[in-house]
Amino acid sequence: MIMEKIDKSRLPLYCNSLFQFSRNRVVDVVVGNILIGGYNPVRIQTMTTSSTMDIEATSQQIVDCIKAGAELVRVTAQGEKEAYALADIKERVEQLGYTIPLVADIHFNPKVAFVAAGIVDKVRINPGNFADGAKNFKEVTEDQYNRGAEVIREKFIPFLKECKKNNTSIRLGVNHGSLSDRIMSKYGDTPDGMAESCMEYLRICKEEGFSNVVISIKSSNTRIMVHTVRLLNALMKSEQIRFPLHLGVTEAGAGEDGRIKSAVGIGALMSDGIGDTIRVSLTESPENEMPVARQLKEHIEDISCSSTSAEEEDAALFSPFDYQKRLTTCTGMFGGDTSAAVVLDLRGRECKQTISNDLVPDAVIIDSYDKNTISSYKNSKKIVPAELLDYFYSEKDSVTPLYKQESICSSQAGEKVVEVNCENVDSKLLEFLKRDLDTVILLSSSNSNKLAAFRSFFLKLLNNRLPHPVIISAKYNTFNIDEVAVKAAVDLGGLFIDGFGDGLSIAHKGDELSRLCSLHFGILQASRVRFSKTEYISCPGCGRTLFDLESTLKEVQKRTSHLKGLKIAVMGCIVNGIGEMADADYGYVGAGRSKISLFKNRKLVKKNIPEKEAVDSLVELLKENGDWVNPL
C-alpha cells in the first residue's frame, strides 16, 4: 500500500485565533455528575495505579485523588473480572462519602468495554486496538484496509448503542505508537495516522448521532503531541465535528522534568484555547499530579482574563502541523545551526554565587560589567556584560549606542544585542534591523498571553524576511521557582515547538540560580530543541503494572542520568509500552509479575529478566551497544 498524507493546505485554522485567547467551543458531554466542554471549566483528571482487584486500595487512592483536586478518575480494566470490580469500587467510594465520575480504561477486548459501559460513567477505548486487537507489525493491502473499516463498524456501533442505553460517555484515546497495523500501513506512525485513526471513529459517532464523546490524542514527544492535536482539531472543524478534547503528554516521567514536559505540551495547546480536560501524567503517586494540573489551569485562566490581543500578522508562513525551524543568520554564539542558548540575565541580582559551576559553561550570562563579575564566571567564555548590550531600543523611538568603541574588545561574546518589547515594535525598529543584520534580539513582552505576543513578532520577522537570532525572554514576579517552571513552560515552550527562538532567558525574584539554570535546559529539552541530559520516557503506571514503577525509575535514573542525550523508556507493562516508547533508544518494560524485558529501538533483546537483575542487565545492554560511559 502506498503511504498517504492528509492534505493540510485546505484545512481551516486549528484554533479560533493565533493572536488573541479564545476558547475553542465544543458540545457539552455528560460524564456522571459533571459536564465537559461547552462553557464549563477545564476538568482535572488522573488514573489509579493500584490493582483494580484490590477494592480497598483502589477506592482509597480515588478518595486521595479527589481530596487533591481530581474531578474524574480512570481505572484500568484489563479483563471482565476487573470490569465487574469497578462496581464494587464505585460503591466503596460512595460509602467513604464521595461521588466522582469513574472511567474504565479498556484495551484489546471489546467485550470488557461492553461490561464496563453498564457500570461506570465513561469508557476509554483505544482506536488502535479496539477492533484490530494486538499489532503484528505487518503490511496491510488496500482490500484488507477497507475490510478493516467494516470490522470497526461491526464492533463499534453496537458498543455505541450500549453506551447510549446506559447514558455512558466514551473517550477515544489515541496514543503515538499504538496505532493499528492498517493505519500504520497507510499513514505510518505519524500525526496524520494518529489523526485519521481517531477521525474514522468520530465519523461513525456523527453518523450514529452519538455525541457523548471526549477525545485524547497523546504522545511522549511534545512536538508530535501538539502538532497532532492541532491537526485533529482542524480536521474536526472541517467536518463540523465539535467534541471536547482531553490533553496530556503521555509517559512524561517524574520530578521537574515530567512537570515541565507536561506543561510544555498541554500549555502550548491551552494557550490557543484548545482543551477541555487535562491530565498531568507523572511516574509518581497519582495525587501528586493535581497540583501541577491546577497550576496549569489557573495560569491559562489568568491569561484568558487579563491578556490583550497581539498585533495580527499574515500567518501564511506559519507551519502549525509540521516542525520548521526559522532560518536565522549565525551571529556569534546565536542562530544558524547553533543549539538554542540558555541566557541567564543576572542584572540587578545581589545573589550570584549560588549558580552551579558545572552549568555555567553551558549558559550565556548577562550581568554588570566589572572585573569581579567577570572573575566570578571564570569557567565561562560566554559573558554578555549589560553595558555591552550594544543597542537598546526605547519607547522614545531611538536606537541608542550604549558602549564606547574601545569597550568592544573587552566583551567575551562580541554580539550586538538589541532589547525589544513586543508591544513597542514600529517601522523605525524594522528599518534598523533591515540595515543591521548582524544583531541579536533579546525579546520580551508585557502581554500576559506571551505565546501569542511572541508569535506575532516572529511572524513579523518572517514576513519582513529578517533573519536575526532571537533570545526569548520572560520575567516572573514571584520567588516560587516551581510556579515559574510551570508558567514559563506554558508561555514559552510552544514557541520552540514551532521552530521559533534561538535562545531562552527566564528571570524571577528568587535566588535558586542553579534550579533556574536547570529549568532553562529542561524547557528546551521538553520542547525538543536541545538535549542536554538523559531523557526518560516513563508511564505513570496503572493496575496492569506488576512492579514498583516509581522506585525502579529512580534506580534507572541513578545509574544512567550521566548519559547525555540518550532516551530511556521505563514502562509498566506490554499493553502500550512497546509501541509508546517509539522515541526511546532503550526500553525497560514490565513483562509479568517481577519480570522485565529489555528493548533496543523497540526490538526485544532480553526477555523475562528477574526484576532484581533488570537494571544491571540494562547497564550491560548499554555497554554492549557502545552507549555507556563511566560517570565522572
- Report the alpha-carbon distance of residue 626 to residue 479 in Å, rounded: 43
Angle at 291 between CA 288 and CA 293, to 5 degrees: 105
- Report the alpha-carbon distance of residue 55 to residue 95 in Å, rounded: 12
What is the reported pLDDT for 399?
33
Count of CB atoms situated within 10 Å of the CB of 135: 16
Classify residue 534 by its DSSP letter. Answer: -
Q: Indicate the domain borders of the chain.
A: 38-247, 341-526, 535-624
User: Is the pLDDT reported for residue 2 higher than 70?
Assistant: no
Of the candidates 279, 348, 327, 305, the residue with the CA atom closest to the CA atom of residue 507: 348
Cα of 596 vs its chain's centroid, Å: 27
Q: Are 463 and 495 in contact (CB under 8 A)?
A: no
Give the model's confidence band at 575: pLDDT under 50 very low, under 70 low, under 90 confident, else very high: low
All 3 cell numbers of residue 129? 486496538
Place of cell 523508556: 569
- Report the alpha-carbon distance of residue 445 to residue 454 in Å, rounded: 7
One DSSP character per residue, 220-272 reads SSHHHHHHHHHHHHHHHHHTT----EEE--TTB-SHHHHHHHHHHHHHHHHTT
Q: Kind and range of the H or E element at 567?
A: strand 567-571
User: Is the pLDDT reported for residue 400 higher than 70?
Assistant: no
User: Is the pLDDT reported for residue 387 higher than 80?
Assistant: no
- For domain 535-624, the CATH architecture is 2-Layer Sandwich (3.30)
Write the pLDDT tens digit of every residue in 547-556: 788 899 999 9
Highest mean pLDDT among 1-10, 145-154, 341-350: 145-154
Question: Side by side, which strands form the sheet with 595-600?
Answer: 535-538, 567-571, 586-592, 595-600, 603-610
One DSSP character per residue, 586-627 reads EEEEEEETTEEEEEETTEEEEEEEEHHHHHHHHHHHHHHTT-
Give the model's confidence band at 409: pLDDT under 50 very low, under 70 low, under 90 confident, else very high: very low
Q: Residue 51: left (phi > 0), alpha (psi -120 to 50), or beta?
A: beta
What is the reported pLDDT for 407?
25
Which CATH class name applies to 38-247?
Answer: alpha beta
Write the pLDDT tens digit of every residue in 233-254: 999 999 999 999 999 998 888 8
Write the pLDDT tens digit of every residue in 520-543: 999 999 999 998 889 998 888 888
DSSP β-ladder status, 29-31 and 122-125: unpaired
What is the reported pLDDT for 106?
94
Of the candidates 534, 581, 584, 586, the residue with the CA atom closest to the CA atom of residue 560: 534
Write the pLDDT tens digit of every residue in 466-491: 999 999 999 999 999 999 999 999 99
User: Is the pLDDT reported for residue 573 higher than 50?
Assistant: yes
Give the model's confidence band at 351: pLDDT under 50 very low, under 70 low, under 90 confident, else very high: low
Place of cell 467513604: 96
pLDDT above 70: percentage of residues in the chain: 87
Write the pLDDT tens digit of every residue in 146-173: 999 999 999 999 999 999 999 999 999 9
- For domain 341-526, the CATH architecture is Alpha-Beta Barrel (3.20)
Q: Which of 207-211, 453-457, 471-475, 564-568 has the lowest mean pLDDT?
A: 564-568
Cα of 618 vs its chain's centroid, Å: 27
Shared fold status for 341-526 and 535-624: no
Mean pLDDT of the chain: 87
Write the pLDDT tens digit of every residue in 418-460: 888 999 888 888 888 888 888 888 899 999 999 999 999 999 9
